[in-house]
Amino acid sequence: MTWSAVILVTAVVWAVSVIRSVRLRAFVYSLPLPMTLALVTTGHRVDGAQVLGVLGLNLFFVTVALTHRRLRWPIVLADLAGIGVYVALSVGLVAVPIPFAPALATVVALWTAAMLVLRRRARAAAPAVGEPEAARRDSLPAPVKLVVIFAGAVLTGLLGELLRGMVVTFPYAGVLVAVEARGHLVAFSRHFARNSLALVGFLTGYHYFQDVSPAAALVAGWVVFALLSLALHLPLRRRDGFGADERGRPDGSARGAGPVRITWR
C-alpha cells in the first residue's frame, strides 16, 4: 500500500469521525476513493469477483454489528470477525474465474431483496422511535485520534495487499469506521447497504471501459456512481426530509414541520 493510499484512508476515516449525521457518514464512506486509488496503483482489472466484493463490504459491517451489538463482543474483536468474513469470501472469489454479467445480476438481485426487507421492517416499526441519526462526539483528543487512525490505515493497508484482486474492494477505511461508528452500527450498516448500489455502478462503469483506457474507465465509473447516488438519495429527500433532520430529533421531524414518515431506516 502506497503512502498516498494511507493518507487517503486516514482522510476518509477522519472525515467520518467529525460528521455527526449517520446518513452522511455512510455516504462519505461509500465514496469510491479507496477503490479508485487501488485501481490506479495496482492495475488490477475489474471483473465479477470485484462486484461480489461489494457484498463482502456489506457482510463486513453486518458481521461487526451482529457480534458487537447482539453478542456483546468488544468492538476490536467484532472488527476482526468482520475482517475474517471478508478475507474468507475473498479467498473463495479469487480461486475461480467469475463472469461479470452473472455476478452483476446476482448482486443487484440481492441488493433489491435486501432493500425490500429493510423497507418492510421500517414500515412495521414506524410507530416506534427510530435509532438516533446523530453520532456522539468522541472523547479522544484530536491529535491522539489522528495518530490512531493513521496507524490503523497502515495496518489495514498491509493486510489488503495480501488479497490480490480483492484489494480493490477491501474495507481499508471500513475497519476503522466500524470502530468509530460502534454506537450506531445497525443504522450505519443500513445506510451503507443502500449506498452500496452506487459502488456496484462504479465498478460496472469501470469494467465496460477498462479496455478503452484507465482514465476513460475511471470517468465512466464516477459518472455512473454519481447518477446512481442521485437516484438513491433524491427520492429519500422527498420521503423523509433527508438533510432536514441531521440533528436526529427523537420524533423524526424537521424544524418547523410536522412528523415525517421514515421510509428507509
In this prediction, residue 248 carries a pLDDT of 41
| pLDDT score of 155 more than 90 | no
All cell numbers assigned to 179 = 470502530
Three-class DSSP category at 245: coil
Phi-psi region of 170 (alpha: psi -120 to 50; beta: other; left: phi over 0): beta
> Contact 27/43 with Cβ under 8 angstroms?
no
In this prediction, residue 164 carries a pLDDT of 72
| pLDDT score of 242 more than 50 | no
All cell numbers assigned to 30 = 461509500
Side-chain-side CA neighbours of 212 within 13 Å: the count stands at: 12
In this prediction, residue 254 carries a pLDDT of 41
In this prediction, residue 7 carries a pLDDT of 84
At 261, the pLDDT band (50, 70, 90 cuts) reads: very low
In this prediction, residue 105 carries a pLDDT of 97
Per residue in 202-217, pLDDT (tens digit) is: 999 999 999 999 999 9
Per the listing, cell 441531521 goes with 246
At 142, the pLDDT band (50, 70, 90 cuts) reads: low
| pLDDT score of 123 more than 50 | yes
Q: Which of 43-47, 79-83, 93-97, 106-110 has the highest mean pLDDT?
A: 106-110
Per residue in 1-60, pLDDT (tens digit) is: 577 777 888 888 888 888 889 999 999 999 999 899 889 888 889 999 999 999 999 999
At 169, the pLDDT band (50, 70, 90 cuts) reads: confident
Calculate the average pLDDT of the chain: 81
CB-based burial of residue 72 (10 Å sphere; 0-12 exposed, 13-18 middle, 19+ buried)? Answer: exposed
DSSP state of 259: -
At 135, the pLDDT band (50, 70, 90 cuts) reads: low
